Structure formats: C-alpha cells, structure tokens
Structure 1
Amino acid sequence: MDFRKYKTFQVVADCLNLTRAADQLGYTQPTITLQLQSLESELGVTLFNRVGKKTFLTPSGKLVKQYVDQMFALHEEMERELKKLENPHGLLTVAAPEFYCTHYLSLIIHSYISQNPQVKLQLFSCDSNDAMKKVAANEADLAIIAGPCDLPIMETLPLGKEDLVLVTTRELYEKYDDKNILMEKYPFITYKSGSNIQRLVNECMEEYGFAPENYIECVTDETIKRTVLYHTGIALLGSALVEEELRKGTLAELHRFPGKIETSMVILKKRMDEKNIYSFAEIVKRIWTEM
C-alpha cells in the first residue's frame, strides 16, 4: 500500500480543489492527478467527478474517504503511543514492607513523580515474602525486600546492609541483672514461620546460643516492634527499625549482629529494560545510598 497516494486522496477530498491540495502537499497538479488515477486504477472505482470547474466525491469516493480518515487517525494514534514509550508513563506498582514504605519509599516516590509526572504509582505494603510473590506473579513491577532472594527468575539489586539487634524495653532490661532469666521468662516475638527474614533470625539465635521455647509470631516487623514496646517480650529486629527507640531509651539492646540484613530491590529479569521499572530502579539506587 502506497500511503502517499491515500494521503493525496485525503487532502484533495478535504479541499475539493487541486490547486489548494497541491499547495498543502507540495506537489504539482500533474503529480496529484497521476497519483489519483493510480489509486482509482488500484481500487477499481472512480473517486471524483468534475462538473464545470467544481470537483465532487463520487459515492465510492465518499466511502473510501471514510475509511482513509479512520486509517490515518489510527496511524496518528499509533505515533502518539510510540512517543509515550520514549518516556515512563502509565502504572507502576511497588511492593515493600511497611517500614520501607514509610521511611524510604515516601521520599523516593516524591522524587520520582516530580521527574515522571505521567506515571501513576501504586504502593503495596506487605512482608518481603509476599512482595517477591507479587513481583513473580506480575502483580507488582518491583519490590524492596529484607533478606535473601533465591528465585532464579529475579534480578537482585543490593541496596545496603543493616544490623540485626536483639531488643527489649528499657524497663524489662533494667529489671533483670541476669539477661538469661529475662530471655527465658518472656516470649520471643518474631516473624511468621517461613518468612524471608525468619531464616536470618534463626541463624542469629543459633549463633547466640538461644533457643526460645515460648514465642509469638507476627506478620510485620512494625507489629513486632509495637508488641515489644508493650513490655511483652524480646525481639530481633533490623537496626534501622529500632535505632530511634534505642536512642531515646525506650528500647534496650541485648545483642547486635552486624550486617546481617541485606536490603535489595528485586525485579523479574525479563522486565529489567522496561522504561518505568528501569527509571524507578535508578532513582531508588541513587537515593537509598544517600539516606
């Protein structure tokens, strides 16, 4: 299909005047006449009639004009959509634990949206295991997680490391001179079995030589911290989550395990080059190191 002939036909059909059509197209009138004759021969119909000095569309010409207008409208729409692909746009869904959402991603999202206003961001607050599952199922475009990711379909981009800290309230800490009694008397508040971070917790407890008999399982680290703050027991949490409480003295440190938690961004390998994901990942990597 020679689009030039159809474009010539569309302009002539709009103008119904060869002189004006020639000015718009930058062709000579003989060139326009040859293109129209070629198109009529190709379609097997007469497109225009002339009565005196006036040009009219034939019934066939009117029908062809209707479809040609639709064809070029679709072509223009395609070009607009292709241009959009040059810049991030549409929906971007990010999954992360509650602490990352409130303390890190709120700032990152503000920076990203200010640079990419055509993107609509959606944020899921969930534990690291569920965040990875959402990415694997294409329910989230990327995730920020605490702990390892062993899925071969994922690209893991390290963001940083933090300590794991065994904590309780200052009140309970000062109540017992023998910390072993404290740890035996009060429950160990921890993550649900099978969670991503729970494997690290188990390793640390084994390293510390403590095997709690009484424990409480929670879904999120924020819930664990709040439960500890109610003088319920002890917990092993990421240092970023408890540093403020340790500084204020509401929590006390029983033991610290340096650099145990690795925070990572996980993305499906096959989606790494998508504009939305790539642009967001670059901002996350830049800002995370500055915070």
Structure 2
Amino acid sequence: MEIRNLKTFQVVAEKLNLTEAAKELKYTQPTVTLHIQALEERLNHKLFTRIGKETFLTAAGKKFKVHVDHLLAYIEDIERDMQKLHRPDGTLTIAASEYYCTRYLALIIKAYSEMYPNVRLNLLPLNSHHALACARNHVADIAIVAGNDGGADLNKIILDEEHVVLVASSEISQGKNVDEIFSDYPFISYDDDCSFSEIASNYFKETGLKPESTIICGGSDETIKRIVLNGTGSAVLGENIVKEELEDGSLIVLERIADLVTTSSIYLKVRSEEPNIQTFNELLQSAWPLATHH
C-alpha cells in the first residue's frame, strides 16, 4: 500500500470531487482514479460511490479514512523528527579531560565528522570540574566528566563506570606496604577541584593514612600516570587509565578504593533538543564502549 495512494485517497475523501482533488495534488484526473482503484483492489472494498453528480464515501471508505488520517499524521511526525536531525551544522564544543580526549574522543569525533561534515568540532581539554562549568555557562555544548552529579539544570548520560585504585610503580612498591610508600615517596595528586582528589581525601580520612608529602599535577590523568610510572610516587587513578600498565606489571595496585566512578556526558536540559547535541550523544552512547577497546 503506497503512501502516495493514501495521500490521494485522503484528499479525494475531503474534497469528494476528483477534479478539485487532482488540482490540489497536481495530478491528472486519470492518475487520481488509478490511485483510488489500486487501494480498492488491495482492500477488496469500494471506497467511493456516486449518486447522481455527487460523490460519497462508502461505509468502508469512512472507516478507511479514519485509519489513513491517523497513519499519515504519524508519518508526518516521523518526518518532522527526522528533519530535526537532518544534517546538523554549526559548531559543537566538547569539554573533557586530556585522557578522554586522546583515548576515547579522538576515535569518536572522526566518526562524527564523517557523518556530519557540516559541524565544526572543538575540543577543550579540561578537568571535570571546569568542563562542567563550561557546559553550564554555554562555553561548551557537552561536558564529558568523571564522578560529578551536575545539578537539576543538567541532563546526564552515563557512558561508563570504573573502580578507583591506589597505584605505584613495581620499582618502588616491591616489599613495601602502603604506609611505607607514603612515608618514603610523595603522593601525586590532582588539583583540589578534581573528583579524584576528593576520592583520595576521603580515602585518607577513612584509613587514617597520610602521605608525608604531595605533588600537585593539575588535572591531567596521563601526566600523573607517567610520573607514577617513573617511580616518583603513588597516586589514585581510575582503573581504566592504568589497565595496560597493571596487565604488564609496570604498575601495582596498592589498594582498591571502594568508590565506583561514573563517566558521563552532561549538557543543559534546555538544550536537549538541539540536533548537534542529540546526534553526538547518540554516537557517544553507541561508540564509547567500543572506544575503550582501542
């Protein structure tokens, strides 16, 4: 049953005049007749009848029109929704940590650019606290953050969850417990406004352990990991970022910390219907688990 035939039937049923219907549809009158005949053959019912010079819907035609009106309205809704997502353009700015940018987003933005070449993508490498502020202040359209609930004005899409571990290099952890490592080597920390810094502080309070010294390294996961790998000290990191190093033995888990940290895409609720944000989040949800394996 072709949609064009249904649209022809709808107009004829409203006009009850083949000539007027053909004029509105920009078809010839024989074409309109063919469309109606095709439907009648498919349904095995006459849809129209003539009494004198007047055209009327049959009982089957009246019932069929109710269904056709609902169906064509639904098709219009589908077309309208699809049009909203058609060829997004303009600029899309994503704020995320250096680790997310290099490990995950580098792959995802390539795919997005191929799908939507008219969108100009900007990446802002920022820690989660500053990325969230950028999303709230319209500096970024989307923030990819770790362990932050955002607020009532924000939508949150969870992309991943990971455990948090206290790690040190195999070089300095051999034969030493956590207290001894804290005594002999500095703790490599994020800025105070990073979520992992808060996790580390809670860990110190709960255990009563305290490093003798601390080195602050901003919000770069990669930088902190490299410093730990060099044998400088210990650090609290997400398990995903050190997965390879734990497997090859270059880093050792000193303790698993109870906190489970979520990675989320966060954006303002009032911007939920924007095509750029919608389409990028849809790709994030499908591609993020795949990106973790590269």
Deviations 1:1-53 (A, max 9, x none): xxxxxxxxxxxxxxxxxxxxxxxxx9xxxxxxxxxxxxxxxxxxxxxxxxxxx
Gaps of at least 5 residues in structure 2 are: 1-25, 27-82
Change (3 A) 1:99 1:209: same
**1:199 aligned counterpart, secondary structure:** helix
Question: d(CA) in 1 for partners of 2:203 and 2:287?
Answer: 30
* TM superposition shift of 1:97: 0.3
- What one-letter code is carried by the residue in structure 1 that aligns with 2:276? N
The corresponding residue for 1:204 is: 203
The corresponding residue for 1:186 is: 185
The corresponding residue for 1:153 is: 153
8 Å contact kept, 1:147–1:200? no
| Alignment root-mean-square deviation, CA | 2.0
Gaps of at least 5 residues in structure 1 are: 1-25, 27-82
User: What are the within-5 Å matches in structure 2 for residues 3-82 of structure 1?
Assistant: none
Change (3 A) 1:178 1:278: closer
8 Å contact kept, 1:108–1:283? yes
Q: Size of the alignment, in residue pairs? A: 209
* TM superposition shift of 1:85: 7.5
Change (3 A) 1:205 1:247: same
Question: d(CA) in 2 for partners of 1:216 and 1:261?
Answer: 23
- What one-letter code is carried by the residue in structure 1 that aligns with 2:160? G
Deviates more, 1:254-263 or 1:112-121: 254-263
8 Å contact kept, 1:190–1:224? yes
Question: d(CA) in 2 for partners of 1:237 and 1:135?
Answer: 24
- What one-letter code is carried by the residue in structure 1 that aligns with 2:249? G
The corresponding residue for 1:215 is: 214
Question: d(CA) in 1 for partners of 2:164 and 2:214?
Answer: 18
The alignment status of 1:241 with 2:241, answered yes or no, reads yes
**1:111 aligned counterpart, secondary structure:** helix
8 Å contact kept, 1:161–1:259? no
8 Å contact kept, 1:95–1:140? yes
Deviates more, 1:270-279 or 1:224-233: 224-233
The corresponding residue for 1:87 is: 87
Deviates more, 1:234-243 or 1:249-258: 249-258
- What one-letter code is carried by the residue in structure 2 that aligns with 1:153? D
Question: d(CA) in 2 for partners of 1:202 and 1:152?
Answer: 26
Question: d(CA) in 2 for partners of 1:283 and 1:203?
Answer: 35
Change (3 A) 1:208 1:149: same
* TM superposition shift of 1:284: 0.2
The corresponding residue for 1:228 is: 228
8 Å contact kept, 1:160–1:264? yes
Deviations 1:149-195 (A, max 9, x none): 33332111111110111111111011x34442122221111111122
User: What are the within-5 Å matches in structure 2 for residues 101-180 of structure 1?
Assistant: 101-174=101-174, 176-180=175-179
- What one-letter code is carried by the residue in structure 2 that aligns with 1:186? Y
* TM superposition shift of 1:238: 0.6
Deviations 1:235-288 (A, max 9, x none): 010111111111122111101125621111110111111000000001001111
**1:151 aligned counterpart, secondary structure:** coil
Change (3 A) 1:196 1:180: closer
Question: d(CA) in 2 for partners of 1:166 and 1:160?
Answer: 20
Question: d(CA) in 1 for partners of 2:148 and 2:85?
Answer: 33
8 Å contact kept, 1:108–1:287? yes
**2:232 aligned counterpart, secondary structure:** coil
- What one-letter code is carried by the residue in structure 2 that aligns with 1:199? E
**2:195 aligned counterpart, secondary structure:** coil
Deviations 1:122-166 (A, max 9, x none): 111111111111111111110101111333321111111101111
Question: d(CA) in 2 for partners of 1:240 and 1:85?
Answer: 33
The corresponding residue for 1:98 is: 98
**1:267 aligned counterpart, secondary structure:** strand
Deviations 1:88-121 (A, max 9, x none): 1111111100111111111111111111111111
**2:225 aligned counterpart, secondary structure:** helix
8 Å contact kept, 1:162–1:258? no
- What one-letter code is carried by the residue in structure 1 that aligns with 2:283? I
Change (3 A) 1:289 1:258: farther
Change (3 A) 1:197 1:173: closer
8 Å contact kept, 1:200–1:260? no
Question: d(CA) in 2 for partners of 1:240 and 1:205?
Answer: 22
